[in-house]
Amino acid sequence: MSPMLPGPDLLIPYLAAVALIELTPGPNMGYLAIVGSRWGRRAGFATVAGITLGLSAYLLAAVAGVAEIVMRLPWLYEALRWLGAVYLLWLAYETWRDEQVRAGVQVAAPKLGLLFLRGLAANLLNPKAALFYAVLLPGFTNPALGSPAGQALTLGAIHLAVATMIHVSIVLTASGLHPAISAWSDTGSDRWLRRAFAVGLTAIAAWMMWETRRG
């Protein structure tokens, strides 16, 4: 084994925990499904890149001890989760009220840079990632193998790889619906589609609040 990895007795349970966490439906899954089905593969991949950067930021924060500070300050934790929910609700509101579709003209997809920033913001405002790294990683490091920080970074990189593969799979699956949704939009039904997506975003906001609640 690499000196930066724990032995199989810790690594195998860690991989099982990561797979279980990432395969459990959550806000990222729902948001990527909406983006991929509405705007296609490239839009979904740009969002995945933003989500991955947000997760990476929390990983580095956990290694530096910043994420633990977030966990120890209830007001900061609550502020993050409420800001995240409000941000998703704002996206839902923007989607609902979008009046650019008139006379059968379809709304253009947001630029890839904007989708990247939306994925990044949605993750930075979700303290669940900070909770994951701050609580889970220390339990799978072994000081006898060397630097705990180095081990945490290695384990975090494994999580990022697993999460990205799952997120990409969601985008590939959801983007398969994009041609049918685009064709439906061309019939003048885009207004109802946008409203359905807005309701979906609202549900994701509520989902995130439920997932990140504390005792």
Of 84-93, 95-104, 153-162, 183-192, highest mean pLDDT: 153-162
Phi, psi of 55 (to 5 degrees): -65, -40
pTM: 0.78
62's tokens: 């956990």
Closest CA to 170 of 56, 18, 44, 26: 44
Q: Is the pLDDT of residue 116 over 90?
A: yes
173's tokens: 């699956």
Q: What is the chain's length?
A: 215
Give me the pLDDT at residue 180, please: 74
Question: Tens of pLDDT along 13-30?
Answer: 888 888 888 887 778 888
Give me the pLDDT at residue 103, please: 42
Q: Rounded to an integer, what distance in angstroms lies between the CA atom of residue 161 and that of residue 147?
A: 21
Q: Mean pLDDT throughout 96-118?
A: 70
Question: Tens of pLDDT along 56-75?
Answer: 998 988 888 766 666 677 77
Mean pLDDT score across all residues of the chain: 79
Q: Is the pLDDT of residue 170 over 90?
A: yes
